[in-house]
Amino acid sequence: MKVLFLGSGTSTGVPVIGCRCEVCTSTDPRNKRLRSSVLVSTHSTKLLVDSGPDLRAQALKFGFTAIDAVIYTHEHLDHVAGFDDLRAFCWERDELLPLYAGEGCLARLREMYPWALAEKQTYRGYVRARCLCHGGAAFRVGDIEVQPVRVIHAAVETYGYVFRSADGASFGYVPDIKELPPESAPMLRGLDALAMDGLCFPPHRTHLCVDETVALMRELKPGRGYITHSGHRLEYSALTAYLPDFISPAYDGLELCL
Ligand SMILES: [Zn+2]
Ligand SMILES: [Zn+2]
Ligand SMILES: [Zn+2]
């Protein structure tokens, strides 16, 4: 199973428009962060997690042209606003594109994009999708098993996911989280790799800060940990030096082979 980080940034992206800070003006490509998203794939299955506002740029930059499903973490705009660019992934397929999400996120998508998600669709050029509410229960797409993991983040229903391939490789992805409910913790324990929210150094109201993420990862003990959904106060090299050996910052274009 492979995991490609399409974006590792928070909702503003990095650089932030108009900001002249050290990170926003850095020439290190690992300090440039599109909005958070990953592509999880095996030889036969490709899953896109979220369709953020940078989806078009990400598809062009990384050259992916077909996906088997989109899996949504939650309804915040930095995770859904690229929805309309899913059109390009629908034109070449006969079946509807499956969209997996929790109930809250699907309701929001239906409100935001009624022309595409209406019961009776009128135009073939729109996103042609099938909404599948997972309700927190595990599901399978192709040869990848997906376990939703309910987490606490802002006031909206939010999920992280654990992806498992047929050969037993496991990857956990939790880009937006403030708190891990005790009943969700066992699902994220002992994974081969785990990528989690690490927005900044100071504590934040709706996201884990770096020290909280490190503490949580020490408990969950992944083979490797990755910090993602990061803001412009985190400089790649400085953060790498700060983190314990088993955790690295994710960056756009980072690919894991599990
Ligand atoms: Zn900045
Ligand atoms: Zn969010
Ligand atoms: Zn977010």
> In the chain, what are the domains?
2-257 (3.60.15.10)
Q: How far, in Å, from the CA of 84 to the mean position of ligand 3?
A: 18
Give the pTM.
0.98
Q: Which amino acid is at 98?
A: P
Say which ligand is closest to the CA of 36. Answer: 3
In this prediction, residue 123 carries a pLDDT of: 79
In this prediction, residue 74 carries a pLDDT of: 98
Q: How far, in Å, from the CA of 133 to the mean position of ligand 3?
A: 20
Q: How far, in Å, from the CA of 234 to the mean position of ligand 1?
A: 9
In this prediction, residue 120 carries a pLDDT of: 78
Cis peptide before 15 (omega within 30 of 0): yes
In this prediction, residue 121 carries a pLDDT of: 74
The CA distance from 181 to 203, in Å, is 18
Q: How far, in Å, from the CA of 237 to the mean position of ligand 1?
A: 16
Which of 200, 191, 198 has its CA nearest to residue 256? 191
In tens digits, the chain (258 residues) has pLDDT values of 999 999 999 999 999 999 999 999 999 999 999 999 999 999 999 999 999 999 999 999 999 999 999 999 999 999 999 999 999 999 999 899 999 999 999 999 999 999 899 877 777 889 999 999 999 999 999 999 999 999 999 999 999 999 999 999 999 999 999 999 999 999 999 999 999 999 999 999 999 999 999 999 999 999 999 999 999 999 999 999 999 999 999 999 999 999
- Sheet harboring 247-249: ordered strands across? 139-141, 144-151, 158-165, 170-174, 193-197, 224-228, 247-249
Q: How far, in Å, from the CA of 26 to the mean position of ligand 1?
A: 9
Say which ligand is closest to the CA of 158. Answer: 2
